[in-house]
Amino acid sequence: MQNVEKISAVILVKNAEKTIAECLESLGAFGEVVLLDNGSTDATVDIAAKYPNVKIFHEPNFCGFGKMKNIALSKATNDWILSIDSDEVIMPEIVSQINAMRLNDNTVVALSRLNYYGNRCMKCCGWYPDYVWRIFNRKYTRFNENIVHEGVETKPDTQKVYIKDAIKHYAADSMESIIQKMNRYTTLSAQEKHKKGKKASVIGAIFRFIHTFNMNYFFRRGIFYGYKGFVVSLLNASGSFYRHMKLYELNKNDR
């Protein structure tokens, strides 16, 4: 049996009709695809139902990305998991690399993402090579329970494997989509930091905006990617500013 046949691909989805078909097409070699729908109101579920290796489950109540992804992987038949988002596509040449690997129980694989803004791959602004831990054995590890910016937990004895340019990620198709994502993620991030007792200040938020923009636009090469590099740099900086200002506001409301 090849490795991909004993790996369950796990996807958390909500209203992903634009990208879910290409995502699922790229997972045809995997033995099972578990799709956990978080209350889609578009054609996402109908599209997914057309694929014979897809099993569809429903969880309408959002409880944070980390917990939701752990619910999804608990539905899998296999212990080996590939976690992938609904706006991501596994590059076809990567399947042979996964099959060639020796998967020990403590192996955790990081896949590098090619992040696209529209039709342009953005190798700037911290968007490249963007390694994310995605293949693991659920008996060995799982996702942390962060509300946002969740990740697979690694341990001192983790055997780490890195595969470059493994995922095509449709990060954004317009400024509007980036702004919508930024607004949601900064709210969730501020709420999580607030629960942990983190503090923020107005001056700190302004400093983070300036620092983040300069780092992304000048030092992380956004300046070489035209208006899209400027937009990504600006919105990364705005995200940092809003996250800290939202945390500041939450702290003010406690008084």
User: What digits encode the pLDDT tens for the residues 88-109?
Assistant: 999 999 999 999 999 999 999 9
Does residue 149 have a pLDDT over 80?
yes
User: What digits encode the pLDDT tens for the residues 44-53?
Assistant: 999 999 999 9
How many domains does the structure of the chain reveal?
A: 2
Residue 38 gets which letter from DSSP?
S
Q: Are residues 185 and 146 in the same domain?
A: no
**pTM for the model:** 0.93
Distance CA(255)–CA(85), nearest Å, equals 39
Per-residue confidence (pLDDT) for residue 1, from 0 to 100: 74
Do 98 and 85 contact (CB within 8 A), yes or no? no
Q: Which residues span the domain enclosing 132? A: 3-171
Does residue 255 have a pLDDT over 80?
no
Q: Are residues 139 and 31 in the same domain?
A: yes
Per-residue confidence (pLDDT) for residue 143, from 0 to 100: 98
Distance CA(30)–CA(115), nearest Å, equals 23
User: What digits encode the pLDDT tens for the residues 167-206?
Assistant: 999 999 999 999 999 999 999 999 999 999 999 999 999 9
Per-residue confidence (pLDDT) for residue 83, from 0 to 100: 98
Per-residue confidence (pLDDT) for residue 98, from 0 to 100: 96
Distance CA(220)–CA(230), nearest Å, equals 11
Domain boundary pick from 113, 144, 171 = 171
Output the average pLDDT for the chain. Answer: 96
User: What digits encode the pLDDT tens for the residues 213-233?
Assistant: 999 999 999 999 999 999 999
Q: What is the CATH number of the domain that holds 133?
A: 3.90.550.10
Which residue from 28, 21, 17 is spatially nearest to 53, judged by alpha carbons? 28
The residue type found at 160 is K
Q: Are residues 96 and 205 in the same domain?
A: no
Kindly indicate the confidence band of residue 254, based on its pLDDT and cuts at 50, 70 and 90: confident
Span 105-125, average pLDDT = 98
Distance CA(196)–CA(20), nearest Å, equals 35
Domain boundary pick from 171, 186, 219 = 171
Q: Are residues 199 and 100 in the same domain?
A: no
Span 4-16, average pLDDT = 97
Segment holding 16, helix H or strand E: none
Do 16 and 87 contact (CB within 8 A), yes or no? yes
